[in-house]
Amino acid sequence: MIQQLNPPLPLETPKGRGWAHLLIDYSQEHDLLWVVFLNENGECWSFSNSEIRMVNNLSLGRYVPNLESYNSFGSGNPSWQSSPVLGHRNDGKTARGSQT
């Protein structure tokens, strides 16, 4: 099944930032494939779920807690695979980090 994303979603990929316009689902036995057009050069690539991340968005509480892992798509177990990407809304802090 191919699903057009409307609106497209901004994603982080191993090849840089881009916009996902299509989602391909072959079945329960396979990863979803995201069809992404890269910002830098307009190339079209397909990435599996394990290779992509949503871009940060402070307004929605989605931030990158560790800047070293922000651009890391190398081998091994990057820290973003074992840590939450979404901030906790009940921690008593606002998006700017001050106490409420």
Are 42 and 76 in a shared domain?
no
- Closest among 94, 1, 98, 10 to 57, alpha carbons compared: 10
Same domain, 6 and 49: yes
Q: Are both 39 and 72 inside the same structural domain?
A: no
Q: Is residue 20 domain-shared with residue 47, that is, in the same domain?
A: yes
Full-model pTM: 0.60
Which range (31-35, 46-50, 55-59, 62-66) has the least confidence?
Answer: 62-66
* Same domain membership, residue 34 and residue 18: yes
In a domain, 96, yes or no: no
- Residue 19 inside a domain? The answer is yes
Residue 22 lies in a domain: yes
- The residues near 4 (Cβ < 8 Å, ≥ 6 apart) are 21, 22
Domain of residue 70, residue span: 56-91
Write the pLDDT tens digit of every residue in 62-90: 666 555 555 554 444 444 444 444 444 44
Classify residue 31: in a domain, yes or no: yes
